[in-house]
Chains A and B, each alone.
Chain A
Amino acid sequence: MRIWAIILRILQQFRRDKRTLALMFIAPIFVLTLMNIVFNGSQYEPKLGSINTPDVMNERFEKLGATVLKYETREEAEAALDDRKIDALVQSSEGLLQVKIEGSEPSVNKAVLLLMQKVGEGLQSDVASPNLSITYLHGSEDMTSIDQLGPILIGFFIFFFVFLIAGVSFLRERTTGTLERLLSTPLKRWEIVLGYTGGFGLFTILQALLISWYSIKVLGILMTGSFLFVLLLTLLMSMTALTLGTLVSAFANNELQMIQFIPLIIVPQFFLSGMFPLETLPDWLRGFGVIMPLTYGAHALTNVMIRGKGWEAIASDVYVLIGFSLLFILLNILALRKHRKI
């Protein structure tokens, strides 16, 4: 069977091309590990400069994790603040707590404000206040950024690497003339496209398996749903990336032009995939999300991994991703008409 011959050849080429193998398997793992460390970092503990604050107060700050440096004069403290030796200065006068924050890093600002809030709660603890009980429908108090971003990042990196590799290797088929040779044989255009999809598809199964397993079992990203669903979704993501990559490679003349598609096709998907809250975006921009495969992949992966949902919650996303793949395969077959009419 001729499709099988193409699949076999692609697998042979992969086996010989160690760098590409590494890019498909090691690079996503490396990047995910890095992300895990960056986003999983423990909470920032602010450094305070205190001027004439009572010791009781300073002890309370330290108990809540802050570092307290004492200053004699306001000028000294201001200078330290400007040098970023401290994140905020605290001065208490006449029962009023004055706080001045350095202010150039939002995350640090938040950490200081949170600290002040906690200190405030502590001070009021003797006042009768209604008891607060907080529970979580999904996730938990311990959920970190990587837990939230994990599903999206898994989808994104699979999409990115498969898109690039599939696109470039199909492009090379054209630039080295082997595509023309294939087209001078009785191979049908759909056989070429399906052969490619099959050969790369087998590889992306392995890739999806490895990345999903690594993210969940080794990195320990929050996972409440079924592993099989995660596998299915990552696989569909890579099939979509694979078929889209080979399709756009028809519009590139060399590897550099293929890279030029990344800011056009990959980066916008990243921003609209749910990494950042979409509610605040203008409607016309949000509308673009509808045509982006990553939107569906990230949505479904989040549903499975964080919310622990089952088939009903992801079915529509799965159908859309299958639809995308089929559409791109069809367009690929049409795009090959550029090189052979029959």
Chain B
Amino acid sequence: MTHPTSVINVSHAGKKFGAKSVLEDITLEVQPGETFGLLGPSGSGKTTLVKLLSGIDEASSGEIHVFGTLMPKLSMLNRIGYMAQSDALYTELSALENLQFFAAIYGLNGSRRRQRIAEVMELVALSDHLHKRVDQYSGGMKRRLSLAITLLHEPSLLILDEPTVGIDPLLRKSIWDELKILNTKGTTIVMTTHVMDEAEKCHRLGMIRDGQLLAVDTPEALIQNAGKNSIEEAFIYYGGGQS
């Protein structure tokens, strides 16, 4: 059943919290080097799904394979970079200290650690603010630092939960440029978003609502098949609100 080359293989996965079903019968595959977007309103189950993919949570039913390994599996976490909605930084510490801490957790030492820290800070354009305390950072800077930490250990799968929330358009573009560069290097990216124009930049999109995957395809195909003009209209169409 598992496609040999797919990075992520979700097969009939469901998640329940108590009696409440948050995800139902999700089946999807993500291929190497693609940017896969999960588009849906808040409360649709996006975050729950990415937590299942990143191995933090466990599916109640069905199976999830990442790199061909059944999740959750502790050893796989080294190959995954997960960035949550919250910035998850130690604000009393400097950016460098945050980076050093997480680098140590991922087992990066010595010159390799220094090199990676310099590289990721360069990537998110924060090199000049390396020694600043995080509580002096702006919201956008925190988001970028959070991304930098996620990239530290060069994960081959990046899972980003609303990565560009609260970031101005200019910066959002530069983050997208960075993600595209990572894509070309072979990094697979799964991200959630509720911003429609952002969704269009993904190679493929999964539309999710009320815990159900409504449709999966390229943005263009989704629009075309629905006979609509925009992702937003297509989303309403697939969501059953044909009008």
Where the two chains meet, the residues of A that have a C-beta atom closer than 8 Å to any C-beta of B are 2, 4-6, 8-9, 12-13, 16-17, 176-178, 180-188, 339-342
Contact = CB atoms under 8 A, between A and B. Distances in A.
B171 to A, nearest CB: 21
A180 B89 contact: no
B187 interface: no
Given A176-B88, A342-B72, A185 B55 contact: no
A339 B89 CA distance: 18
27 contacts: A5-B104, A8-B101, A8-B104, A9-B93, A9-B101, A16-B92, A17-B92, A177-B85, A177-B87, A177-B88, A178-B88, A180-B56, A180-B86, A180-B88, A181-B102, A182-B105, A184-B54, A184-B77, A184-B80, A184-B82, A185-B78, A185-B102, A185-B106, A186-B77, A339-B56, A342-B58, A342-B72
Among B78, B88, B91, B107, which residue has the most Cβ atoms of chain A within 10 A?
Answer: B88
Contacts of A180: 56, 84, 86, 88
Interface in B94-115: 97, 101-102, 104-107
Contacts of B54: 184
B191 to A, nearest CB: 15
Contacts of A183: 56
Contacts of A5: 101, 104-105
A342 B92 contact: no
Contact of B105 (A13, A176, A185): A185
B64 to A, nearest CB: 13
Interface residues of B, number: 32
Given A2-B105, A181-B88, A342-B72, 10 more contacts: A6-B105, A8-B104, A9-B97, A13-B90, A16-B93, A180-B84, A180-B86, A181-B82, A185-B78, A186-B75
B90 A342 contact: no
Nearest to A13: B92
A2 B93 contact: no
B57 interface: yes
What is the predominant secondary structure among interface residues of chain B facing chain A?
A: loop
Nearest to A341: B58
Contacts of A12: 92-93, 97
Interface in B51-73: 54-58, 72-73
A190 B163 CA distance: 30
B63 to A, nearest CB: 15
Contacts of B91: 176
B74 interface: yes
A254 to B, nearest CB: 15
Nearest to B91: A176
B89 A342 contact: no
Contacts of A17: 92
B105 A178 contact: no
B86 A184 contact: no
The 5 closest A-B pairs by CB, nearest first: A177-B86, A5-B104, A177-B88, A184-B82, A181-B88
B92 A186 contact: no
Given A183-B56, A186-B77, A342-B73, A178 B104 contact: no
Contacts of A4: 104
Contacts of A8: 101, 104
Contacts of B88: 176-178, 180-181
Contacts of A188: 74
A43 B106 CA distance: 64
Given A186-B78, A341-B72, A178 B90 contact: yes
Nearest to A181: B88
A16 to B, nearest CB: 4
With a 10 A CB-CB cut-off, give which of B106, B133, B149 has the most chain A CB atoms.
B106
A197 to B, nearest CB: 17
A176 B56 contact: no
